[in-house]
Amino acid sequence: MTPTLAVDALSVHFGGRVAAVREASFQVQAAECLGIVGESGSGKTQVCLAAMGLLGAGARTGGSIRFEGEEILDRPAATLNRIRGSKLTMVFQDPMTSLTPHLRIGTQLAEVLVCHAGMSWREAEAGALRILDRMHIPEPQRRLRQYPHELSGGMRQRVMIGMSLLCEPSLLIADEPTTALDVTVQARIIDLLRNVRQDTRMGVVLISHDIAVVASLADRILVMYGGRVVEAGTTRTILDLALHPYTAALLRCVPDLRHARVERMPTLAGQAPSPASEELGCAFAPRCPRASERCRSERPLLSEQSAASHQVACHHPQSS
């Protein structure tokens, strides 16, 4: 079966020396949700911007990205525009800056259907109304006439998700879709994505630094660090049997209500590596309590061979 999205040995460099992504590989099947987690600067967003053809000026890429069997990495805008916004869509982290501030919500939603589905403005406005109702936004007719600043953060995010779903895409990339939202709105958005995925067999790539959010929706999890995929496996396997010490450290930082009396939340000591650094060994070694000289000198590589496999790029043994 041809995967909806297949990323193979993807690298992204800026200015020749800054390596935002280093040989990342993964696949996403139809109706599957893949969660990508890691600290800020780990390369999560850059991987997905590469898939959308939205990397910044000066980006240099290598490897391959295939969407429904077609190579899309570094393709001309005319080629990408056939699928962007219709078959391949993305919800960005900040809905306030993603929505055009001087255009009404209804105009922005209807424009998608006019451009990608060839509808008339009257038909498109009816479609915009239906999607707001599907997103459980109260008073949808009134919201169509409002501007982004008149909606709450949760409503704006649901508008963005609704906009991305208007053309029933094959794949939705959601970049931190619940950041800065209260837990009730977070739960609603996760339920919404889950229901849409079940109804349409849409694939989802969920990017987050919040493992708890990812675990509630994802079938599989990729852990990124220093631009590399350091561990990959099913959600249950990653949560129950994390092999890479970085993954284990992230899991220890997840709040646990069973230990609510702990005065200080656990944190991950040290700093993530700079994308401009030369990688001579395991990038996590300077922060790893299990690191040895062997770990520092060996270059970790990971290529995901199977969606069901549990793989780890570098497993530091316990020091004797």
Read off the CATH number of the domain in which 221 is found.
Answer: 3.40.50.300
Q: Is residue 102 part of a domain?
A: no
Q: How confident is the model at residue 299 (pLDDT cuts 50, 70, 90)?
A: very low
Task: Print the domain residue range for 24.
Answer: 5-87+167-256+267-312
What gap in Å lies between CA 302 and CA 79, rounded to an integer? 31
Tell me the pLDDT tens digit for each residue of 223-242.
999 999 999 999 999 999 99
Q: Give the position of tokens 């991987």.
A: 47
Residue 125 located in a structural domain? no
Asked whether residue 287 is assigned to any structural domain, the reply reads yes
**Section 245-274 average pLDDT:** 75
Query: What CA–CA distance (Å, rounded) separates 243 from 316?
Result: 9
Rg (CA), the chain: 20
How far is 138 from 177, CA to CA, in rounded Å?
20
What confidence tier does 154 reach under pLDDT thresholds 50, 70, 90?
confident
pLDDT (mean) for 185-199: 86
Q: Is the pLDDT of residue 311 over 90?
A: no
Residue 89 has pLDDT above 60, yes or no: yes
Q: Which of 136-150, 242-256, 288-302 has the lowest mean pLDDT?
A: 288-302
HEC string for 130-199:
HHHHHCCCCCHHHHHCCCHHHCCHHHHHHHHHHHHHCCCCCEEEEECCCCCCCHHHHHHHHHHHHHHHHH
In a domain, 145, yes or no: no
Q: Is 301 contained in some domain?
A: yes
User: Using CA atoms, how far apart are residues 271 and 39, in angstroms rounded to an integer?
Assistant: 10
Provide the domain count of the chain: 1
